[in-house]
Every structure is written in structure tokens, then in C-alpha cells.
């Protein structure tokens, strides 16, 4: 069983920064892809960024140049550095961990950006 826990959300001002963390725990030998999603009020959940086991990253266009995803395989943790935040980034951010053909989700962490 794999547990996934996000942290680092909170309130930020427009133009500010936040760093999210997502830690996986359990009997895990090698995590495949890790990803961040977000769901804004009244909207569908969207993919924000992904990172493969080899470290290749990809981003949704709206965050390119502002967000950076990274991972620490030894710590089984993925990060999302968010800079130049704007009100449209307000959402609950979820982490997804892919392991042995299954996906595991955290409960999310709320990011609120005030304009």
C-alpha cells in the first residue's frame, strides 16, 4: 500500500511564491512518474506538471516558465516550486504517484493567491 501526502499550500500574494511537497510512503522500491494536478472551484481537475522516473518534466502551458517540478527519489518526494503566482493559480493541488501500474493520490493541499 502506498500513502501520498501533500504539504506546503497556503495563502500567497499575487507575484509571490510557494513550494509544495508530496511524500510517498509504504513499501516502495522505485516510483515511476509523479505528477501535480489542481482543481479550481467549479472547474475540472487539470494536470499541471509531470516528471518521469528519469527526471524528464513537462508542464501545462499556463505554468510554463513559472512552475518547476522536481523529485528526490531517495526521499520518495516530489516538489512543485511555484513562482509569479496569480489568482488563476488558486486551487486545491493534488499529487499523483504512479507505481507498478497503479496510481495513488493524496488528499490535496489548498493554494490561495490573493490579488
pLDDT tens figures, 60-113: 999 999 999 999 999 999 999 999 999 999 999 999 999 999 999 999 999 999
pLDDT at 30: 86
Q: How far apart are CA 74 and CA 36, in angstroms?
A: 19
Cell numbers linked to 23:
511524500
CA-to-CA separations, 60 to 14, 17, 48, 93, 107, in angstroms, rounded: 19, 18, 5, 14, 21
DSSP string, 80-94: EEE-S--GGG-EEEE
Asked if the model's pLDDT at residue 27 lies above 90, the reply is no
Over 90: is that where the pLDDT of 4 sits?
yes
Nearest to 35 by CA among 3, 80, 83, 85: 80
Amino acid at each position: 500500500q502506498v500513502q501520498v501526502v501533500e504539504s506546503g499550500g497556503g495563502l500567497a500574494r499575487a507575484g509571490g511564491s510557494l513550494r509544495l511537497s508530496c511524500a510517498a510512503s509504504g513499501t516502495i522500491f522505485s516510483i515511476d512518474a509523479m505528477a501535480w494536478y489542481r482543481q479550481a472551484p467549479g472547474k475540472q481537475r487539470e494536470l499541471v506538471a509531470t516528471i518521469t522516473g528519469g527526471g524528464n518534466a513537462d508542464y501545462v502551458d499556463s505554468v510554463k516558465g513559472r512552475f518547476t517540478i522536481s523529485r528526490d527519489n531517495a526521499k520518495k518526494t516530489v516538489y512543485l516550486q511555484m513562482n509569479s503566482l496569480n489568482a488563476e493559480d488558486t486551487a486545491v493541488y493534488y499529487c499523483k504517484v504512479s507505481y507498478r501500474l497503479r496510481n495513488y493520490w493524496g488528499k490535496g493541499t489548498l493554494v490561495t493567491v490573493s490579488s
